[in-house]
């Protein structure tokens, strides 16, 4: 495979091979990742949905640029820091889907909005007022979506009248414009979300408020056809790499998982136990309802039952041929988004060869 230009141009040279690279190391199969991106973009195009991928999975501007190249309208970010990195890369359509508060952070938001189209969410007058003040101070305008709780019980307003009232407030506040409605549905509750969004749209319409866009998201349900009636754009993130949790949910196959963590068996203290040099700082402690902290692809009967900071403890008693000290294994992580944020770089592979190291340039940008 010829690597996409955005990836090729960002790669740093690596002298080591898959056999000599130090572990733990994150490997990303570019062939699989790019196929995942193209497949989802085609699906969005067929449905008439704007694709606004969430960069918190890969956290790399090179992959974000590839998503834009394939047809994404813009990208979704979760923090001002991520927005700054994406704006630095030349991406000009950003949607920040967490409430922004605090003078320093708001000033940074305004600075990003001066150089890139910026949209944010709000579920209270306090957030609307704060964002509007930041926009006015920066001499720009920021679009604000009303975040709706459609069953996820996270942030957002649930009452349609309250949603319409906040939309009206945004419309009459200098420095901001009403961008539409945004939600993150609970997994498996897309139909419930659709009903809630329709009620919110009806309340806005009754109040004379046009709803320009309706943004929904979530990778676990991204391939399901139901519940998309009012939705105009979709935010998914994990689909670029996929992970063990998405395989378990039926949203991906193991063959569509692009990221693995390469680890070394550093100890076999008993016949039943092996120790990997990958712990919470490489594999994440997220379980996401699963048993164990990842799957060792070479030994699927092994069970990673505990993580310390630098070590993974593995029960190998069910393995017909258990791993030996010095063996290198590939672990499919439970939650790929967290793993990306644990490393400064990931190693891009194609056809079983390391092509180079890709900076994770939004790593640690949690503010």
- Please write the tens of the pLDDT for every residue from 334-349: 999 999 999 999 999 9
What is the pLDDT at residue 212?
98
DSSP secondary structure letters along 27-82: EEEHHHHHHHHHHHHHHHHHHTPEE--BTTTT--HHHHHHHHHHT-S-EEESSHHH
Give the model's confidence band at 91: pLDDT under 50 very low, under 70 low, under 90 confident, else very high. Answer: very high
What is the pLDDT at residue 217?
97
- Evaluate the CA torsion angle 130, 132, 137, 140 in order and state its sign: positive
Q: What is the percentage of the chain residues whose pLDDT exceeds 70? A: 100
Q: What's the pTM?
A: 0.97
- Using one digit for the tens of pLDDT, what is the confidence trace for 263-305? 999 999 999 999 999 999 999 999 999 999 999 999 999 999 9
Mean pLDDT, rounded, for 315-336: 98
What is the pLDDT at residue 324?
98
Helices 125-138 and 160-171, axial angle in degrees (round to 10): 20
Domain ranges of the chain: 5-27+245-359, 30-240
283 with 312: CB under 8 angstroms?
Answer: yes
What is the pLDDT at residue 157?
98
What is the pLDDT at residue 1?
67
Cα–Cα dist 87/64, whole Å: 11
Mean pLDDT score of the chain, rounded to an integer?
Answer: 97
User: Is the previous residue joined to 317 through a cis bond, with omega within 30 degrees of 0?
Assistant: no
CATH code at 30-240? 3.20.20.10
Strands 303-307, 295-296: parallel, antiparallel or unpaired by DSSP?
A: unpaired
| pLDDT over 70 (residue 38) | yes
What is the pLDDT at residue 2?
87
Specify which residues 145 forms β-bridges with. 121, 180
Mean pLDDT, rounded, for 205-216: 98
- Using one digit for the tens of pLDDT, what is the confidence trace for 219-269? 999 999 999 999 999 999 999 999 999 999 999 999 999 999 999 999 999
Burial class (CB in 10 A: 0-12, 13-18, 19+), 48: exposed
Q: Nearest 5°: CA angle at 231, between 95 and 105?
A: 15
What is the pLDDT at residue 140?
98
What is the pLDDT at residue 102?
98
- Using one digit for the tens of pLDDT, what is the confidence trace for 141-198? 999 999 999 999 999 999 999 999 999 999 999 999 999 999 999 999 999 999 999 9
Q: What is the percentage of the chain residues whose pLDDT exceeds 90? A: 99
Does domain 5-27+245-359 correspond to CATH entry 3.40.50.970?
no
What is the pLDDT at residue 277?
98
């Amino acid at each position: 495979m010829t690597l996409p230009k955005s990836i090729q141009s960002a790669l740093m040279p690596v002298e080591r091979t898959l056999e000599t690279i130090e572990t733990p190391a994150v490997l990303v199969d570019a062939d699989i990742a790019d196929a995942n991106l193209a497949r989802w973009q085609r699906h969005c195009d067929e449905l008439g949905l704007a694709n606004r991928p969430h960069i918190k999975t890969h956290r790399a501007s090179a992959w974000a640029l590839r998503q834009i190249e394939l047809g994404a309208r813009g990208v979704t970010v979760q923090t001002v820091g991520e927005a700054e990195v994406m704006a630095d890369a030349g991406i000009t359509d950003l949607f920040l889907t967490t409430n922004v508060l605090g003078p320093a952070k708001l000033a940074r938001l305004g600075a990003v909005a001066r150089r890139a189209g910026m949209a944010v969410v709000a579920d209270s007058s306090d957030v609307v007022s704060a964002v509007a003040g930041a926009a006015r101070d920066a001499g720009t305008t920021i679009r604000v979506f009303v975040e709706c709780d459609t069953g996820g019980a996270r942030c957002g307003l649930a009452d349609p009248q309250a949603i319409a009232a906040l939309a009206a407030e945004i419309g009459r506040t200098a420095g901001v414009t009403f961008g539409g409605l945004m939600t993150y549905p609970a997994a498996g509750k897309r139909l419930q979300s659709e009903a809630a969004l329709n009620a919110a749209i009806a309340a806005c319409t009754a109040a004379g408020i046009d709803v320009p866009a309706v943004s929904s998201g979530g990778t676990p349900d991204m391939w399901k056809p139901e519940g998309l009636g009012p939705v105009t754009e979709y935010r998914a993130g994990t689909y670029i790499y996929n992970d063990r949790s998405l395989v378990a949910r039926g949203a991906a196959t193991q063959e569509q998982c692009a990221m693995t963590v390469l680890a070394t068996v550093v100890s076999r203290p008993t016949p039943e136990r092996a120790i990997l040099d990958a712990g919470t700082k490489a594999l994440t402690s997220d379980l996401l309802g699963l048993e164990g902290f990842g799957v060792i692809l070479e030994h699927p009967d092994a069970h990673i039952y505990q993580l310390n900071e630098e070590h993974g403890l593995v029960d190998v008693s069910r393995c017909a041929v258990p791993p030996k000290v010095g063996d290198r294994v590939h672990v499919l992580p439970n939650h790929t988004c967290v793993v990306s944020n644990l490393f400064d770089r990931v190693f891009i592979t194609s056809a079983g060869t390391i092509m180079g190291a890709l900076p994770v340039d939004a790593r640690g940008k949690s503010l």
